[in-house]
Structures are given as C-alpha cells and as structure tokens.
Structure 1
Amino acid sequence: MVVLRWIRQNWFLVGIVVVIILAKLEPTIGAKGGPLIPEITVKYFCVSLIFFNSGVSLRTEEITKALLQLKLHIFVQGFTFIFYPLFIQTTLSLLRESPFDPLLLDGLTVLGCMPPPVSSAVLLTKAIGGNEAAAVFNSAFGSFLGIMVTPVLLLFSVGSSASVPFWSVFGQLSVTVVLPVFLGQVVRSYVKSSMERRKIPFGEIGSAILLMIIYTTFCDTFSHSEVEIDSLSLMSIILMIVLLQVCLLLLVFFVSTRSFFHFKPSDTIALLFCCTHKSLTLGIPIIKIVFSGFGGISVISIPLLIYHPTQILLGGFLVPTLRGWLMATQKIRGCQQAWQV
C-alpha cells in the first residue's frame, strides 16, 4: 500500500523512468519516421494541445498581467540571447587546448545560441504551480525572436551563415503556439463556470503530454546510432551538459530570489526553465539550414540532442522539490503580510 501510494503521488517521476526505458528498448517506434510519426503528432498536435490547454486554464487577467512584466521578460530574453552565449564562449575558451573533439565544442557554442523551448518550460512551470502566463509569453516570444537572433549569433560565434525561412517558421509558430492559446481563451470564455465547477486537472493533462514528448525525444536520441564519436568524448559531453544545466539553474535561482529584482516565487519558477532550457524543435531545423552541406553536422547536433532530454528529465525530477519550496515560500510570505496588516 505504501508503495502504491508513493507511485500515485509521484506518478510523473515514475512515468519518466518508464518512457525512457521503453524508448531505449525500441527507439524506432517514437523516432522520426516511426509508427507514432512524432514529426507530426508531437511537433504539431502535442505542442498545439499544450498551448490550447494553457489558453483554457489561464485566467485572461493573468495573461494581461504577464504581458506587463517587462522586467521578467527582459531577464529571460537577455539571459537566453546575451548571457548564455557569452557564458558558453567563456567556458569553451578554457577547453580549446583540451582533447575534446573540436566539432563537439562547436556544438556547445551552437547550443548556447539556441532560442528557448516552445513547450517544456511551460509544462514544467505549470506542473509546479509557477507563473505559467509568463512562461507562455516568453516561450512564444523567445521562439519568434530566435528565428532572427539565433542565425546572427551563429554567424558571429561559429562563422556560418545562411538565410532562415522566417515566414515559414513564423507561420508554424503562429499555428502551434499563438492560435491554440487564443482558441483556448475563446473556449474558456464560454465554459468558464462549468469548467471551474468540474475542476478539470489541467496540470495532470499537461504532464501526460510532456511524458509523450519525453518518450519521442528519447526515442529520437537513442536512434542516432550513426553518429561516430568515441565513448569517452560522448560521456564527457553528457557530464558537461548536466553540470552546465545544474550550474545555470542554481545561478538563475540565486539571482532571481534576490530582493533587488522583487520577483515573486512563482516568477522564479518560470525563470528557472525559460532561461535555462533550449529548443530542439527550432534548434535542429536552424542547424540544418545554417550548416547545410557541412559534413560534421551530425556531431555538431550532439550537444543539443543531449541537452534537450536532459533538461526535461532534470526538470521533471525537480518538480516535487520546487513545488514544496514554492508552497513553503508562499506560505511564509502570506504569514508575513498578515502580520504586517
């Protein structure tokens, strides 16, 4: 009984382990071109469903309030497109004389230039109870901004240049991100009272969708067996990426909780994931366009392919801890406000 109760309480963590094992056993099922057709079902349907879910569950006044949080938006986009690339460049300057494969180091540089994710930051923020509206806005805005900024950053960082099909990607993001949020808000206006009475578990729905994304992401990662790289370099890059994410998460948490910024605990949750996560959905197409015809493109893609499932996995395992911190911090703040009154 104790075990079953623990599984029910931590079903999301259990689900992460299960889908990773399933992906490892037979990666072709959820890989691109496989029976699940993730390039359509996940890229369009699941992502659209995530933002429709957010549109339905979010109060309109919360979205309006989030749009006005300019300090938070500047923090996220500045961290993503200025601090992150500079941090990677500074770190790699210490490793240029190391035995690391130069293409892997270039891949880390490329990773640092990538835009924020379209969905994972929103889902993890929602699962914890953070500022979901801010996460939705910054995921969408950062993705649109990345279409223009990321190729320029790559040009200066790695030296490659190419024209990105702006309107094609812009149209895709409009259909999968902006339109579902808008439709969700429209639906909410008609079923608001009924929805609040039934208490639909939007958080659990989002978490279930995230498990599907985790599964197909790991299937795609495990299916890339054609990439030729020695085991030591691969293990070293995995360790480096895990340490990189942990360091950045701690940095964002430390900075965003300082009284100077006046961020709420729920804002900190959104900042943690919006600032440190990188988009595989936009990243791989941009890499293929910018490095078109380059023979080492598969090796350059490795850091991003590793980073994406790692950020979801690490974020998933942090959900219970961060949820506990958020609830405890909000309770303390509530008591302090009541005492002052």
Structure 2
Amino acid sequence: MATPNKAKTASPKFRFDWFMKGMVLVVALAFVWPGPGAQGGFLHPDVLNKVGIALVFFLNGLGLPLAALREGVSRWRVHLLVQLSTFLLFPLLGLALIKVSDGWMAPDLQLGFFYLCALPSTVSSSVALTAAARGNVPVALFNATLSSLIGVVLTPLWMAWAMGHEGTAFEVGPVVVNLLVWVVLPLVAGQAARPWLQHWAARHKPRLQIVDRVTILMLVYTSFSDSVQQGIWHSYGWTVLLQTVLLGSALFFVVLGLTNLVSRRMGLPDEDRIAAVLCGSKKTLASGVPMAHLIFGANPALGLILIPIMIYHPLQLAICGVLAQHWAARDDQSSANISVI
C-alpha cells in the first residue's frame, strides 16, 4: 500500500462556493415560482428527474476508481471503523433522535434526519480533506469508494426498515426496480466506460463537475417546488431551520468525537485516524438528493426531508476544513498528540 505523503500541504479554507449559493437560489426560486418544477409543470420533472439521476450516477461511475479497493484492502481495521460509523453508528443515532424528538419535531423532518444518517460518505471532499490534513489518502479513497457502493444497497434497506417500523407505507419492490434502473445501471455503465473515457474525463473534470452540480441543483429545485405547491411549508416556520442546524451540529460532533475516540483506542496510526475521522463523519449530498427522489417518489414533503442533508453538507465542509488546517500544521514529532480540536 502506498505510503502517505508526509509533505505539508496547503489546507483548503471553507468557502461558500457557487454550488452552495446555487442551492440557496434554487430553493428561493422554488418558493417564488414553483410551477415549472412541480408535478405537471412544463419542466416535466417526472422525466427530467430520472434522466438527471441517471446522469449523476453515470458520472459517479466514470469517476469511481475501483482499483483503490484492491490497493487498500489490507487496512481492514480502519475500513471496518469507517463503514460501521457510516452505516451503523449514524443510523442508530438517527433512531435515537426520532425517539427523543417525538411530539416536538415534524415527522417528515424526523424522516429527513434518519435519511441523512442512512446515507453513504462523500468521495471527493473526504479524499481532498484527508490529503490536506496529511492523513492516509489511500485509506480515504478506499473507504469513500466502498461507502458509495455499499450505500446503493444499505441506504434504501435502512429506510425501508425505519419507515416500516414507524408504520409508514414503503413499497420495496418499485424502489428496488428504480434503484437498479436509474442508479445501479448508470453506475455500472460509467464504470464500464472508464477504460475508454477516464482520460477524457480527467481532462474535462471541471466541466463534468459543473454538469453534475447543476443537475443536482435541478433536482433540489423540483423537490422544493412540489413541497411549496402542496403547501407543506405553511405548517412550519424558521423553527425547522433552527432545529436542523442545532441537531445537525450535535450529530456531527458526536460522530466526530466517537470515531476519534475509537480510533485512538484501536491504536491506529495518526494518518489512518485522520482518514477515519474525516470519512466516518461525512455524508453525501451529491448522491443523497438523487437517491431521495427514487426512495420517496412523489412524496410532497420531499423538500422538508432533504433539509437535514442540505444543512449538514456545508456544516461538515466548514468544520472538517478547520480540522484539516489544524492537523496539517502539526509537527511530525508531536503527531501522537493529535486531537479533534
């Protein structure tokens, strides 16, 4: 396995970039002009959304380096920690949150928090921040890639179990078919096209990222358009945003602290520990928005369900960016004293 680069790397500072500004803009547009993106609108979201989802996952497959799985398999302890944090610790905390918030949180927002907890980790930001923090980049790449693949299966299974447990109707069959057609098939097609297109994709990566992000913004717009058109937001005020920011922050710091504590108790090297903390505490917005359209279908509260991941996304980037700067500035001699603050 490749040895992590010990050279100090300039850490990225958190910026409220064009994609996050775009999210604010499309949500505002949905409140002002929901008609085009709602069901029956002239954008035909029933068709446009599925084409957009297929495009997002084709590009994901095209950019997913499965060779990293073969190269990084030997560090099984840190991989186990990251995947258990992503797909077990997070969902268990989500279930606990549902229990303690009964009676004072909207059920659809509770569902949104559990959906956030069931999502896989991020890919690009986990790897980039691990590199900036002088962590183990191959470990981050392995876990980010593996998490994306596992999430296609485990995220809908967790949602089916949770919604069934709460007495909410959830038709597994149609969801599985939609996931196979609009997620798995494009993902496999993108991966199959890598031998011919990976060099082209690498040369045009900035343009492909713009296409990917614009497609996600379109999915966010149609999600909120339906919610506005159905009057979902009339029942909620700024309380929803306040609850989401506070609980999302608490959730993030609990997972961050637990992954750091467990990795210390396991005696992981500092480079592995950095990768474990940064990968195990992150959740993907890029896959979360399109998968939500397939899992929740035409649920008019989809905009509300997506609020937790939309708040969590910039929150995790901001805090992990600060941590990456902190860790990158450490002296090699004192690396054993690395902490999350």
Structures share a fold, TM > 0.5? Answer: yes
1:144 and 2:146 aligned = no
CA contact (8 A) 1:48 1:176 kept: yes
CA deviations 1:283-314 (Å, max 9, x no partner) are 343234xxx9xxxx434x45422123223333
Q: Distance in 1 between matches of 2:214 and 2:23?
A: 10
Matching residue of 1:5 = none
Change in CA separation of 1:40 and 1:95 when aligned onto 2, cut-off 3 Å: closer
Report the CA distance between 1:23 and its aligned residue: 2.0
What residue ranges of structure 2 are gaps of 5+ in the alignment?
Answer: 1-11, 132-136, 337-341
Residue in structure 1 matched with residue 239 of structure 2 by the alignment: 236
Q: Equivalent residue of 1:257, what SS?
A: helix
C-alpha distance in structure 2 between counterparts of 1:201 and 1:328, whole Å: 32
Number of the residue aligned with 2:123: 122
Instruction: Using the TM superposition, give the Cα deviation of residue 83 of structure 1 relative to its aligned residue in structure 2, in angstroms.
Output: 3.6
* 1:175 aligns to 2:176 (yes or no): no
In structure 2, distance between residues paired with 1:277 and 1:260: 32
Q: Which moved more, 1:21-30 or 1:238-247?
A: 21-30
Q: TM-score, normalised by structure 1?
A: 0.68
Supply the distance in 1 between the matched residues of 2:124 and 2:215 (Cα, whole angstroms). 11
Structure 1 counterpart of 2:328: 327
- The equivalent residue for 1:50 is 60
Match status 1:248 vs 2:248: no
Residues 1:106 and 1:187: Cα distance change in structure 2 (over 3 Å): closer
Alpha-carbon deviations, 1:165-185, whole Å to 9, x = none?
A: 334423433323344245436
User: Relative CO higher for 1 or 2, CA cutoff 8 Å, sep ≥ 6?
Assistant: 2
Q: Secondary structure at the match of 1:309?
A: helix
Per-residue CA deviations over 1:129-151 (Å, capped at 9, x if unaligned) read 46133112112112222343431
Partner SS for 1:225: helix
2:173 aligns to what SS in structure 1?
coil
Amino acid at match of 2:307: I
The change in CA–CA distance for 1:164 and 1:207 in structure 2 (over 3 A counts) is same
Q: Give the C-alpha shift of residue 213 in structure 1.
A: 4.8
Query: 1:151–1:164: 8 Å Cα contact kept in structure 2?
Result: no
Q: Aligned residue for 2:265?
A: 260
Take 1:278 and 1:304, find their aligned partners in 2: how far apart are those partners?
14
Measured after TM superposition, the shift of residue 161 of structure 1 is 4.5
The aligned residue for residue 290 of structure 2 is: 281
Q: Alignment length, in residue pairs?
A: 302
- Alignment correspondent of 1:220: 222
Partners of 2:61 and 2:190 within 8 A in 1: yes
Question: SS in structure 2 opposite 1:273?
Answer: coil
Letter in 2 for 1:212: V
Q: Give the % identical residues.
A: 12
Residues 185 and 121 (structure 1), Cα distance of their counterparts in 2 relative to 1, 3 Å cut: farther
Q: Is the 8 A contact 2:23 2:217 kept in 1?
A: yes
- Structure 2 match to 1:112: 114
1:114 and 1:257, CA in 2 relative to 1: closer, same or farther beyond 3 A?
closer
> Which amino acid in the other structure matches residue 310 of structure 2?
P
Partner of 2:279: 270
Q: Give unpaired runs (5+ residues) of structure 1.
A: 1-8
Within 5 Å, give how 1:14-93 maps onto structure 2. 14-20=17-23, 22-24=25-27, 26-27=29-30, 31=37, 34=43, 39-40=49-50, 42-55=52-65, 60=67, 62-93=68-99
**Distance in 1 between residues matched to 2:286 and 2:253, nearest whole Å:** 13
Aligned pair partner of 1:162 in 159, 171, 174: 171
Cα distance in structure 1, aligned partners of 2:37 and 2:15 = 22
Q: 2:53–2:183: 8 Å Cα contact kept in structure 1?
A: no
- SS of residue paired to 2:165: helix
2:102 aligns to what?
96
CA distance in 2, matches of 1:276, 1:246: 16
Q: Structure 1, residues 100-140: CA drift from partner, whole Å, max 9, x if none?
A: 5xxx225514641567547x712322443461331121121
Q: Secondary structure at the match of 1:268?
A: helix
Change (3 A) 1:10 1:212: farther
Please say if residues 114 and 283 of structure 1, whose CA atoms lie closer than 8 Å, have aligned partners that are also in contact: no
What is the CA-CA distance between 1:247 and the residue it aligns to?
1.6
